[in-house]
Amino acid sequence: MPNVRKKAVECLIRCERGGYSNLVLMQELASGRFDARDRAFCTALVYGTLSRRLTIDRFLENRVNTPLSRLDEEVLEILRTGVYQLFWMDSVPARAAVSESVSLCREFRKTSASGLVNAVLRRCSDADISEAWSGIEDWTEYLAVRYSISPKLVQILSEQYGEQTEQVLESMSVRSSLYLRVNSLVTDERSAAEALREEGIETEPTGLSNCLRVVSGFSGHSELMDRGEIRIQGFPEQFAASCLEAEAGSKVLDMCSAPGGKTMCIAQDMKNEGSVTALDSSESRLELVRKLAAKEKINIVETLCGDASVYDSSAVYDRILCDVPCSGYGEIPSKPELRYKDPQISEDLPELQYRILCNAARMLAPSGRIVYSTCTILDRENRSVVNRFLRDNPGFRLAVPGQLPDCAEAVDGTISFTPGRGGSEGFFIAVLRQM
């Protein structure tokens, strides 16, 4: 019988070495050796341990005599998963969290560490996790440890959100809902929902056309996915594509297309009539777009490799989507490794985002529409970029759709999704119309 805790530790080691948690889990659980319950447990343990890693490490530092950096990676991840089970997994009895962690030492041939793991986790079980942050006087450090997030990112968010910072940080610990995109070219919402129910997967409509929210029973796969009838895609991403209001016969440019989810949404909204140019700087990632288009029976998408900030075309487009490269901090609930990403790495992004947006404006047809979007919550990549564009391009105006979903709010003519609100992740949308 496969050991689900061992698999979780193996996933965490891969993540620690640079792997993306969502991809690592998908690859590690693809074999089918685990049933739905085990898959759910492994996923919760991996995501949870990653999400609380900074807090867990601070807690462990006071209970392990050896610096954590000197522990074998297997032993460190065993301790981390043990602490997570003790304090955040109510379904796991404390004695099981300790004993199963000790057993893992044998599984990984680290028997010499069994005594250490047993002693440390027993001491942890008699303590309270709040000891990790109690007594910290510096507010930024307190928030970083309390909510397990990079102090540098805490500082940026504090400057942006002020008194609401702690609420925003807390929301980042709430897992977002799972949403499905229904391929309207081959089925419809009702038929897809009924077919999913036959597989034991319950969904509900969201109010956004061709978008379903998973209620229960979904373990990451469905026969409908194999047939190209549905795919997993976040609600804000689907909503951003709908904000283009692309119609059958339109000529559309997707400036940063790969891996192609929004591109397919646009083509489906157009009823597979017209043309969609999918531009991306990576030829290998464009292959993903082509494969997805073939799988979903879409034939109006033309792929083109190029840099969106300098791409030069004599053609003009009715609609242009600028889903630009960004820091991705809005996706922290589903990609917990982003919690520890240094914001300095993304400092140059606003200039690139601005160039892409200006380049899009040059190719827009009169009275056309641009949708600028990111999956981050940092103002410097969102409203600051849009405001700069509007100052330099007075012929454009912001336009907010008449009815917004409950998980979004209009802020100064733009649309913001805050992590945790209504089961959504963080996202930003600005609809720009040429007057």
- Asked if the structure places residue 254 within a domain, the reply is yes
Whole-model pTM: value is: 0.93
CATH number at 287 reads: 3.40.50.150
Q: Are residues 305 and 333 in the same domain?
A: yes
Average pLDDT of span 229-244: 96
Average pLDDT of span 191-207: 96
Q: Are residues 69 and 123 in the same domain?
A: yes
Q: Are residues 93 and 166 in the same domain?
A: no
pLDDT, tens digit (0-9, with 9 covering 90-100), for 252-291: 999 999 999 999 999 999 999 999 999 999 999 999 999 9
Q: Are residues 356 and 298 in the same domain?
A: yes
The encoded tokens of residue 362 equal 């040059």
- Asked if the structure places residue 118 within a domain, the reply is yes
Distance CA 196, CA 51 (A): 30
- Asked if the structure places residue 187 within a domain, the reply is no
pLDDT the model gives residue 51: 96
pLDDT the model gives residue 410: 92
CA 406 to the chain's CA centroid:
19
Where is the domain boundary, 154, 171, 188? 171
Mean pLDDT of the chain: 95
pLDDT the model gives residue 37: 87
pLDDT the model gives residue 72: 96
Assign 1 a pLDDT band (cuts: 50, 70, 90): very low
Distance CA 154, CA 144 (A): 6
CATH number at 81 reads: 1.10.940.10
- Asked if the structure places residue 226 within a domain, the reply is no
- Asked if the structure places residue 199 within a domain, the reply is no
Q: Are residues 114 and 151 in the same domain?
A: no
Q: Are residues 244 and 384 in the same domain?
A: yes
Average pLDDT of span 24-40: 85
Q: Are residues 244 and 265 in the same domain?
A: yes
Residue 32: pLDDT over 80: no
pLDDT the model gives residue 368: 96
Q: Are residues 166 and 244 in the same domain?
A: no
Q: Are residues 124 and 143 in the same domain?
A: no
Residue 251: pLDDT over 90: yes
Length of the chain: 435
pLDDT, tens digit (0-9, with 9 covering 90-100), for 139-182: 999 999 999 999 999 999 999 999 999 999 999 888 889 999 99
pLDDT the model gives residue 2: 67
Counted domains in the chain: 3
- Asked if the structure places residue 201 within a domain, the reply is no
Instruction: Report the 3 state secondary structure along the chain.
Output: CCCHHHHHHHHHHHHHCCCCHHHHHHHHCCCCCCCHHHHHHHHHHHHHHHHCHHHHHHHHHCCCCCCHHHCCHHHHHHHHHHHHHHHHCCCCCHHHHHHHHHHHHHHCCCHHHHHHHHHHHHHHHCCCHHHHCCCCCCHHHHHHHHHCCCHHHHHHHHHHHHHHHHHHHHHCCCCCCCEEEECCCCCCHHHHHHHHHHCCCEEEECCCCCEEEEEECCCCCCHHHHCCCEEECCHHHHHHHHCCCCCCCCEEEECCCCCCHHHHHHHHHCCCCCEEEEEECCHHHHHHHHHHHHHCCCCCEEEEECCCCCCCCCCCEEEEEEECCCCCHHHCCCCHHHHHCCHHHHCCHHHHHHHHHHHHHHCEEEEEEEEEEECCCCHHHCHHHHHHHHHHCCCEEECCCCCCCCCEEEECCEEEECCCHHHCCCEEEEEEEEC
Q: Are residues 363 and 244 in the same domain?
A: yes
pLDDT the model gives residue 266: 98
pLDDT, tens digit (0-9, with 9 covering 90-100), for 297-314: 999 999 999 999 999 988
pLDDT, tens digit (0-9, with 9 covering 90-100), for 373-419: 999 999 999 999 999 999 999 999 999 887 898 889 998 999 999 88
Output 186 or 174, whichever has higher pLDDT.
Answer: 186
Q: Are residues 333 and 353 in the same domain?
A: yes
Assign 29 a pLDDT band (cuts: 50, 70, 90): confident
Residue 35: pLDDT over 90: no
Q: Are residues 119 and 158 in the same domain?
A: no
The whole domain housing 166 covers 139-171
Where is the domain boundary, 85, 117, 132? 132
Residue 219: pLDDT over 80: no
